[in-house]
């Protein structure tokens, strides 16, 4: 019962409790939250105490910025539950192996982020944080009220106590393992008839195609894309398959960072985290977020630089929220392309979104694409489209990329084309990345 109250309280607070009249008011409130949070955290986390180097909570914006590598290296001293990294990994790996995601470490939920082996992140949450997360997530994602009957279908690579904690009251929660075969998913979904469907876009697109072919017969009230960046191409297919706009939840091991409003605009969750912007290109409104979560205490996240590139929306959202609105989560910094400068003197960065737009502008008939940069001089593009259009489309892609490079004073790369390999979009083992850089700078 106590747990249920925590969920309810955070649900209500998120949904109705915070009405900032202006962005200014929101920022002032955030500042107070961070300071109060740090006064609680610093005595408990040796890692952050050392990082702060004697600076007071008021001067938190001067704390050094950390990233995944620093956080994982200092994991034992960073978390406030006294959990050692080896213990946490052992628990998380055992859960992945057995597909039983319920064990905890002394009550603390342990999760693993996806990522290449050796670069996987760990996630810790206390029972209280789990309930707070559930309440906040339900407030932001649920189409109706907390009391209306809902059946949530959640597709993930790994389940977690975190997710099953929303299974209560009128709300049913079913976990779908991304590693299961599609036929099994279709049978289960047709039986379960979810009112809310949340899955990575690669899976949503397969489900949308099954819906168009009549194999999937569900009518969810809301469809949410999670865990992978939502490509405009996939968004189109998914929206058509389910006959409704696609919503998004932006979440990673580092926190619950954003959700779409009723207009479908993605807003940063500035009621949970402060997002400092490290501008990559201010005129293009592109930045890397540095986040400070003022709620998580078991695994505090203070001035943590993510590897994502976000594009701020140019127009204010009609919903009137004072929280930053985004055009898109465009991809990872590591997937920024680099071409030789036409004026000599090194390489110039090109945003993944520019590459994406150049390719999609080549033909309206492109069904699938992937672009991999193997070296500053070589880009491989895989395309799926009607065979009769292939030749013309490849020529167009080459011209569009050359034009993009010319506009940025870069030398155009050699472009090699390949057939689309359906294995690239098989959900589960690997996240779908349509724009990928494969060489180190
Ligand atoms: Zn909005």
Please determine, for residue 337, whether its predicted confidence score (pLDDT) is greater than 70. Answer: yes
Is the pLDDT assigned to residue 392 strictly greater than 80?
yes
Mean pLDDT over each residue of the chain, to the nearest integer: 91
How far, in Å, from the CA of 236 to the mean position of ligand 1? 20
Q: Residue 403 above 90 pLDDT? A: yes
* Cβ atoms of 138 and 172 closer than 8 Å: no
The pLDDT assigned to 116 comes to 54
**Is pLDDT at 384 greater than 90 in this prediction?**
yes
What is the number of residues in the chain? Answer: 441
pLDDT at position 326? 96
Which residues have CB less than 5 Å away from ligand 1 (the ion)?
Answer: 261, 263, 265, 317, 319, 321
* Residue 225 reports pLDDT greater than 90: yes
Ligand 1 geometric centre to CA of 408 (Å): 33
pLDDT tens for residues 59-112? 999 999 999 999 999 999 999 999 999 999 999 889 888 888 888 898 999 988
Residue 150 CA, ligand 1 centroid: distance in Å: 23
What mean pLDDT comes out for the span 371-399? 95
Q: Can you give the pLDDT at residue 360?
A: 94
Average pLDDT over residues 324-341: 92
Say yes or no to pLDDT of 119 above 90: no
Confidence of residue 166 (pLDDT cuts 50, 70, 90): confident
Query: How many Å apart are CA 378 and CA 122, to the nearest integer?
Result: 35
**Cα–Cα distance for residue pair 422/437, rounded to 1 Å:** 20
Determine the distance separating the centroid of ligand 1 and the alpha carbon of 23, expressed in angstroms.
Answer: 14
- SS3 call for 261: coil
The CA 323 to ligand 1 mean position distance, Å, reads: 8
User: What is the predicted pLDDT for the residue at 104?
Assistant: 87
Ligand 1 midpoint to CA 410 (Å) = 37
- Phi and psi at residue 328, to the nearest 5°: -165, 160
Q: Is the pLDDT of residue 425 over 80?
A: no
CA 348 – CA 365 distance, rounded (Å): 30
| Percent of the residues in the chain that have a pLDDT greater than 70, as a whole number | 97
**Domain annotation for the chain: domains and CATH numbers:** 2-331 (3.40.50.12780), 336-437 (3.30.300.20)
Give the three-state DSSP class for 241. helix
Is the Cβ–Cβ distance between 139 and 17 less than 8 Å? no
pLDDT in tens, 249-301: 998 888 899 999 999 999 999 999 999 999 999 999 999 999 999 999 999 99
Span 345-352, mean pLDDT? 91
| CA 14–ligand 1 middle distance (angstroms) | 15
Residue 429's pLDDT is: 58
pLDDT confidence of residue 4: 76
pLDDT at site 288 = 97
Q: Where are the beta strands (DSSP E) in 377-424?
A: 378-384, 414-419
Mean per-residue pLDDT, 344-373 = 93
Identify the pLDDT of residue 428: 61
Q: Is the dihedral of CA 183, 184, 187, 189 positive or negative?
A: negative
* Lowest model confidence (mean pLDDT) among 98-102, 180-184, 249-253, 350-354: 98-102
Instruction: Evaluate if residue 338 carries a pLDDT over 70.
Output: yes
Q: pTM value? A: 0.90
Q: Which residues lie across from 410 on neighbouring strands?
A: 341
Burial category of 62 from C-beta neighbours within 10 Å (exposed 0-12, middle 13-18, buried 19 and up): exposed
Query: Given this model, what pLDDT does residue 263 score?
Result: 93
Residues 6+ apart with CB under 8 A from 282: none
Identify the pLDDT of residue 284. Answer: 93
Q: What is the CA radius of gyration of the chain?
A: 22
**Banded model confidence at residue 207, pLDDT cuts 50, 70, 90:** very high
Mean pLDDT of 231-253: 93
DSSP secondary structure string, 89-150?
A: HHHHHHHHHHT-----BTTBEEEE--SSTT---EEEE-HHHHHHHHHHHHHHH-SS-TTS-E
Cα 132 to ligand 1 centroid, rounded to whole Å: 23
CA of 260 from ligand 1 middle (Å) equals 7
């Amino acid at each position: 019962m106590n747990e249920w109250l925590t969920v309810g309280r955070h649900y209500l607070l998120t949904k109705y409790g915070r009405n900032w009249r202006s962005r200014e008011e929101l920022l002032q409130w955030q500042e107070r939250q961070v300071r109060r949070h740090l006064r609680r955290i610093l005595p408990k986390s040796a890692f952050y105490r050392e990082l702060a180097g004697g600076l007071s909570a008021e001067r938190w914006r001067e704390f050094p910025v950390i990233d995944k590598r620093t956080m994982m290296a200092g994991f034992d001293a960073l978390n406030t539950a006294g959990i050692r990294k080896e213990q946490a990994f052992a628990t998380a790996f055992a859960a992945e192996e057995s597909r039983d995601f319920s064990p905890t470490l002394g009550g603390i939920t342990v999760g693993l982020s996806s990522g290449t082996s050796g670069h996987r992140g760990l996630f810790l949450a206390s029972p209280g944080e789990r309930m707070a997360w559930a309440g906040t997530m339900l407030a932001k994602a649920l189409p109706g009220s907390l009391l209306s009957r809902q059946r949530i279908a959640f597709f993930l690579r790994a389940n977690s106590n975190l997710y099953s904690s929303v299974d209560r009251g009128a709300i049913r929660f079913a976990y779908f393992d991304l590693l299961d075969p599609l036929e099994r998913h279709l049978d289960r979904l047709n039986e379960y008839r979810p009112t809310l469907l949340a899955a990575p876009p690669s899976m949503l697109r397969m489900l949308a195609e099954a819906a168009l072919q009549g194999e999937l017969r569900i009518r969810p009230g809301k469809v949410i894309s999670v865990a992978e960046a939502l490509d405009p191409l996939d968004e189109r297919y998914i929206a058509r398959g389910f006959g409704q706009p696609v919503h998004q939840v932006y979440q990673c091991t580092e926190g619950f960072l954003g959700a779409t409003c009723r207009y479908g605009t993605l807003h940063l969750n500035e009621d949970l985290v402060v997002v400092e912007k490290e501008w990559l290109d201010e005129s293009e409104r592109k930045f890397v977020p540095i986040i400070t979560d003022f709620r998580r205490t078991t695994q505090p996240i203070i001035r943590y630089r993510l590897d994502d590139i976000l594009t701020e929306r140019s127009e204010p959202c009609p919903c009137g929220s004072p929280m930053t609105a985004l055009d898109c989560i465009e991809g990872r910094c590591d997937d920024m392309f680099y071409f030789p400068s036409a004026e000599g003197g090194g390489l110039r960065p090109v945003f993944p979104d520019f590459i994406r737009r150049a390719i999609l502008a080549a033909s309206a008939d492109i069904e699938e694409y992937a672009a991999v940069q193997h070296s500053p001089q070589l880009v491989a593009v895989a395309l799926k489209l009607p065979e009769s259009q292939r030749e013309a489309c490849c020529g167009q892609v080459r011209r569009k990329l050359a034009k993009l490079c010319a506009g940025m004073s870069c030398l155009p790369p050699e472009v090699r084309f390949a057939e689309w390999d359906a294995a690239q979009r098989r959900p589960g083992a690997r996240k779908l990345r349509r724009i990928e850089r494969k060489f180190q700078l």
